[in-house]
Amino acid sequence: MADVILETRQLTKEFKGFTAVSEVSLQVERGHIHALIGPNGAGKTTCFNLLTKFLVPTAGHILFNGRDITAARPAQVARMGIIRSFQISAVFPHLTVLENVRIGLQRQLGTSFHFWRSSSSLRLLDERALALLAEVGLEGLAGTLSADLPYGRKRALEIATTLAMEPELMLLDEPTQGMGHEDVHRVTELIKKVSAGRTILMVEHNMNVVAGICDRISVLQRGAVLAEGSYAEVSRNPQVMEAYMGTSDGALAGAQH
- CB 111: neighbour CB atoms within 10 A? 13
**Class level of CATH domain 1-74+200-257:** alpha beta
Helix or strand holding residue 35 (H, E): strand 33-37
Given a contact cutoff of 8 angstroms between Cβ atoms, the answer to whether 215 and 185 are in contact is no
pLDDT in tens, 5-44: 999 999 999 999 899 999 999 999 999 999 999 988 899 9
| Distance separating alpha carbons of residues 135 and 119, to the nearest angstrom | 24
pLDDT in tens, 87-98: 555 688 899 999
DSSP code of residue 99: H
H helices of 52-180, in order, are 74-80, 97-109, 126-135, 151-164
Q: What pLDDT sits at residue 214?
A: 96
Helix or strand holding residue 63 (H, E): strand 59-64
Considering only CA atoms, which of 101, 245, 79, 100 is closest in space to residue 163?
101
Choice among 116-120, 160-164, 172-176 with the minimum mean pLDDT: 116-120
Q: What pLDDT sits at residue 251?
A: 46
Radius of gyration of the chain (CA): 19
Q: What pLDDT sits at residue 117?
A: 55
- CB 192: neighbour CB atoms within 10 A? 15
